[in-house]
Structure 1
Amino acid sequence: MDKLLWMRCFVRAVETGSFSVVAREMQIGQPNVSRHIASLEKSLGTRLLHRSTRHMVATPEGQRYYAQARHALDIISQAESDAHGEQDPHGLLRVACPESVGSELIIAALPRFLDRYPHVDVELRLGDEYIDLVAEGVDIAIRGGTLKDSALRARRVGTSERICVASDAYLQKHGLPGQPEDLLRHQCIIYTLLAGGSGAWPFKNGPVPVSGRTRLNNLDGIRRAVLQGLGVGYLPSWMIARELRTGELRALLTDHATAPSPLNVLYSADRLLPQRAGVFIEFITKVFADTPGLNGTSLV
Structure 2
Amino acid sequence: MLNNLNDLNMLITVAKSKGFTAAAKLQNTSPATVSKQIARIEKELGIRLFKRNTRHLEITEDGQNFVNKVKKALEILDEAQTTISQQEQLRGKLRITAPILLGSSYIAPIVAAFRDLHPLLTIDLSLTDHIVDLYSQGIDIAIRIGKLPDSDLVAKRLTTNYRILVAAPSYLKESPLIEHPQQLGEHQCLLFSYPGYRQDQWTLVHKSSAKRKEIIHVKGHLSSDSGDVLKKWCLLGKGIALREAWEVSQDLHEGKLVRILSDWEEPGAAISILYHQRQYASKKVSVFAQYLFQCFKQTL
Q: Same fold (TM over 0.5)?
A: yes
Q: CA RMSD in A?
A: 2.1
Count, aligned residues: 210
Task: Establish whether residue 260 from structure 1 lines up as the match of residue 275 from structure 2.
Answer: no
**Quick check: 1:189–1:232 contact (8 Å CA) kept in 2?**
yes
Q: 1:142-291 to 2 correspondence within 5 Å?
A: 142-193=143-194, 196-204=197-205, 205-291=213-299
Displacement of 1:195 in angstroms is 9.5
Could you say which structure has the larger radius of gyration?
Answer: 2
Task: Establish whether residue 101 from structure 1 lines up as the match of residue 89 from structure 2.
Answer: no
Identical positions, percent: 29
Displacement of 1:215 in angstroms is 0.7
- Structure number with the higher strand fraction is 2
Instruction: Summarize the Cα distance change of 1:114–1:213 in structure 2 as closer, same or farther, 3 Å threshold.
Output: same
- Kindly provide the CA deviation profile for residues 22-62 of structure 1, in whole angstroms up to 9, marking residues without a partner as x: xxxxxxxxxxxxxxxxxxxxxxxxxxxxxxxxxxxxxxxxx
Residue aligned with 1:183, SS: helix
Displacement of 1:145 in angstroms is 1.6
- Kindly provide the CA deviation profile for residues 116-148 of structure 1, in whole angstroms up to 9, marking residues without a partner as x: 111111101110111211111111100112222
Q: 1:83-122 to 2 correspondence within 5 Å?
A: 88-122=89-123
Distance 1:133 1:283 in 2: 21
Distance 1:190 1:244 in 2: 20
Task: Compute the TM-score of the two structures, normalised by the length of structure 2.
Answer: 0.65
Residue aligned with 1:254, SS: coil
Displacement of 1:105 in angstroms is 1.4
Displacement of 1:158 in angstroms is 1.4
Q: Which runs of 5+ in 1 are unaligned?
A: 1-82, 296-300
**Quick check: 1:190–1:215 contact (8 Å CA) kept in 2?**
yes
- Kindly provide the CA deviation profile for residues 184-220 of structure 1, in whole angstroms up to 9, marking residues without a partner as x: 1111001115992141111121321100111111001
Residue aligned with 1:223, SS: helix
Distance 2:248 2:139 in 1: 29
**Quick check: 1:145–1:263 contact (8 Å CA) kept in 2?**
yes
Residue aligned with 2:274, SS: strand
Distance 1:253 1:286 in 2: 33
**Quick check: 1:166–1:252 contact (8 Å CA) kept in 2?**
yes
- Kindly provide the CA deviation profile for residues 228-278 of structure 1, in whole angstroms up to 9, marking residues without a partner as x: 000000111111121011111111123222332111001123443421112
